[in-house]
Amino acid sequence: MSDIQYDLEMDTQGLMCPEPIMMLHGKVREMDSGQVLKVIATDPATTRDIPQFCRMLNHELVAEDHTDKLFVYYIRKR
């Protein structure tokens, strides 16, 4: 998964719902269309919340990678 190109990175490790999604809203507002954001999280709720965020706001979830305690997402702003 490390070969995915991204423009920005947001580390939300240690934060719990709703903080990662609130931060994501703010970060996406700052981005240009087409840019890719890498999100690193430890909150298991992000496995539900981030895909739903992308669907609802029409952003592309390029890829996601999960281990037991770490969740990584690549989101392209449309």
Q: Catalytic residue positions?
A: 17
For the record, the structure tokens of 15 come out as: 């934060």
Secondary element (H or E) of residue 51: helix 46-57
Q: Extract the tokens encoding 58.
A: 């029409």
Nearest in space to 47 (alpha carbons), one of 21, 25, 11: 21
Instruction: Name the residue with tokens 């719902």.
Output: 17
